[in-house]
Structure 1
Amino acid sequence: MNDDTPQPTAQPALQPVRGAASIAITGLVLAGAAWVARAVWQVRLATAGQPSSGLPDQGNGRHRPLTGLEDAYHIVTSLGDAATLLCAVAFLVWLVRVRDNARVISGQPPRYAGPWVYLGWIMPIMNLWVPRGIVADVHRQSAPGERLPRSVNWWWGLWLAGMVSGVGLMYADSTDDVIARAYSDVRLLLLADVAVVGAAVAGVLVVRALTAAQQRPPRPVSAGR
């Protein structure tokens, strides 16, 4: 006997995100610690003062031997860059998962196409708002009717502040150039460090908030909305 009654289509299962969230949080903590270490060494460089032999990069392709403190800063910077890269990869893995889950929960396509999850961070001008927009869209689809967590705005505001106040310039310049800045005026470097560490802390709260939103039943939205 054939059963011609149409069967309901099963909703795709949500991807597990707790593990990805834990790894992303660990990455953010490590990246924040790396920037704290940078700040400590920059203060040490500023306190020690420029050696009588001048800056490490003496122009015309000439470099003097590094002092012990300068050499240590190179090591701290290299380790910090590695930690930041791992953090970025872990955060993107988590973001892709919660974005896919948000689409399943809401039944609606995301506001930004898939490539923007990656391109949004590196495209000039677009990187000023696209990553925050993706995170906000995930929350809107995962928890309809709920206010966007304040941590999202703190995270993005501090990240942009860090970029504007020196992080982008630090990545564009060599480590020896950053050492020269520490000797001349360390304050701008420290402002960037504080902003990035604050962004990492707020990022932890963002990951926790969006992950939690996908672990609980959706809140019903009133018919008038």
Structure 2
Amino acid sequence: MEQNSTPAAPDPATDPALRPVRGAARCAIAALALAGTAWVARAVWHIRLAVAGQPTSGPLDQGDGVHRPPNALEDSYHLVASVGSAVTAVCVIVFLLWLDRMRDNAKALSGTDPRYGYPWLWLGWILPVVNLWIPRGVVADVHRSVFPERRLPAVVNWWWGLWLAGLAGGVGIIYSDDTDEVIARAYSGVLPLLAADLVIVVAAGAAALMIHTLTTAQREHVAGRAY
């Protein structure tokens, strides 16, 4: 008698290749909410610095290696900036842990290896030039490998466009100026800082929506194959 060689659908209750993603998605969304809140707080302090104006004693960096002591508002901005950077770093790690689980599940469900190898999950964000497309490619591959017949959800492109805008702003997620230089920018022209803050907050919201969208689609697919 002829036997059916089609592989059985993976059962999320018994297949060790499938990893739970619901909790990881919730943690990532919560981390993004905290990161967005931290950048809103940073924007508030940018406004406070602009309204207060530069002290009569001049900028923090007086030149020739001389720095004046910061006032109370400048000190508090240093604290807000430090907390915001720490929260953002945690958010990045939690996001990548969620993406790692989604990649593993996509590989198990599709039976194909990811387009980008495991090292790109981490290196793709920090290597110059390739960080302009590989992270989006990693995320897109998670969806397309399981749903090749579907269009990529638009929120993925919205998220990536906003992320790139934050990078290109020069005062957003990654910038070369130290905190004292950012304070000087707030005194001299706060609008670019506020624009970058807004882009980052909206990007965090788009990332949260993307996580929810991709996670829900994958979980519904797994549930459908189990029956």
Identity %: 59
Following TM superposition, by how much is the alpha carbon of 1:148 offset from its aligned partner in structure 2, in angstroms?
Answer: 1.1
Find the counterpart in structure 1 of residue 168 from structure 2.
164
Cα separation, 2, equivalents of 1:170 and 1:87:
14
Among candidates 42, 49, 64, match of residue 46 of structure 2: 42
1:153-191 alpha-carbon deviations (Å, 9 max, x no partner)? 111101110111123686321100000011111111111
Q: Tell whether the 8 Å contact from 2:167 to 2:174 is kept in structure 1 after alignment.
A: no
| Matched positions, count | 215
Among candidates 96, 102, 105, match of residue 101 of structure 1: 105
Cα separation, 2, equivalents of 1:108 and 1:185:
51
Cα separation, 2, equivalents of 1:170 and 1:209:
27
Q: Could you state the TM-score of these two structures normalised by the residue count of structure 2?
A: 0.89
| Residue identity opposite 2:139 in structure 1 | V
Among candidates 21, 24, 34, match of residue 30 of structure 1: 34
Cα separation, 1, equivalents of 2:171 and 2:163:
9
Cα separation, 2, equivalents of 1:8 and 1:132:
32
Cα separation, 2, equivalents of 1:9 and 1:150:
32
Any gaps of 5 or more consecutive residues in structure 1?
221-225
Cα separation, 2, equivalents of 1:170 and 1:96:
23
1:92-114 alpha-carbon deviations (Å, 9 max, x no partner)? 00000001100111111111011
Residues 1:149 and 2:153 are matched in the alignment: yes
Q: Could you state the TM-score of these two structures normalised by the residue count of structure 1?
A: 0.90
Q: Tell whether the 8 Å contact from 2:40 to 2:201 is kept in structure 1 after alignment.
A: yes
Q: CA RMSD in A?
A: 2.1
Cα separation, 2, equivalents of 1:154 and 1:169:
16
Following TM superposition, by how much is the alpha carbon of 1:144 offset from its aligned partner in structure 2, in angstroms?
Answer: 2.8
Find the counterpart in structure 2 of residue 19 from structure 1.
23
More divergent stretch after superposition (144-153 vs 101-110): 144-153
Q: Tell whether the 8 Å contact from 1:170 to 1:178 is kept in structure 2 after alignment.
A: no
Cα separation, 2, equivalents of 1:124 and 1:60:
32
Cα separation, 2, equivalents of 1:22 and 1:168:
25
| Residue identity opposite 1:113 in structure 2 | G
More divergent stretch after superposition (170-179 vs 82-91): 170-179
